[in-house]
Amino acid sequence: MQTNRAIVLLNMGGARNKNELKMFLTNMFNDENILTIKNSLIRKIVASVIVNKRLDSAWENYEKIGNSSPINPLTEKLVEKCNEQIKDFKTYQIMRYTPPFANEVIQKMKKDGIEEIILLPLYPQYSTTTTKSSLEDFLKYEKNSFKIKVIYDFYKNDSFNNSIVNEILRNIDDETNYNLIFSAHGLPQKIVDNGDPYQRQMIEQIELLKQKLEEKGKVFKSINLAYQSKVGPLKWLEPSLEEMLKNFKDENVIIYPLSFIVDNSETDFELDIEYRHIAQNLGIKDYKVCRCVNDSDEFIETIKDIIK
């Protein structure tokens, strides 16, 4: 059925090969929301230095997860399922740092006769480094071509939080034997100090998830928040996941990646390989990592709920 309305899913992207990894890193570190250097020429020089320094070691990590990020095939499946199950809307995806890019998809939507758009950044919590960056990128190329509604965050969505609780409980038989850690992508402390609501929203969401677990009578040994992916010398949000794991020698841990919707190199490599190795060295008995909601039927229902 032909429709003039669209859902546009926005995300950061991920590399399909080493050339795309260089593209991803170059675009990311040239983003003024990420590398907050006002002078674009200086930012470009600094970005180039960082990329050249990190490319080979970052690619080694990608080699451990099959030479590409899982974010691409999973997002393609999500788009396909949205197009099958969400009537009256055509669903598209746009990535911030790797294809498909905003300018190309916008041209396609114009050809497809799209007039109204719901922009849905696949970041549950709002951050200048993710949501704002993706929205600015879209609007730069859109040039008032569509009637737009923006979903700025959805971390409070009931359907979404139910799907997270269900995924956690699917992975364990007895929650009383496990410490639950919600792991979130870290941010430099100065970004939060400058008013970014990401950390506050993360804490609010964990309170909602705790309530849902309590209502189900599920009592974990402990429920915690930690931050992963720190790079560089700046002070980042704390506690780091590595520091948090030190609390659980001889105990069991289950991790839920709270800031991600679609599995990517940070879930498949960092959480499932790198931090698993750290956990084993620390003497943690059982270390489990939950999947993101990805293209699950539950998340399709969440999207339907969000766009109502």
Binding-site sequence positions for Fe(2+)? 185, 266
Q: Which two tokens stand for residue 59?
A: 């690619």
Residues contacting 35, CB < 8 A, separation 6+: 29, 43, 46, 47, 50
Residues 6 or more apart in contact with residue 52 via CB below 8 angstroms: none
CB 7 within 8 A of CB 307: yes
d(CA 107, CA 111): 6
Residue 171 φ then ψ, to 5°: -90, -5
The set of residues, in sequence order, having a beta carbon less than 8 Å from that of 19 and lying 6+ positions away, is none
Amino acid letter at 100?
Answer: P
The 8-class DSSP code of residue 94 comes to: E
Please state the residue numbers annotated as binding site: 185, 266
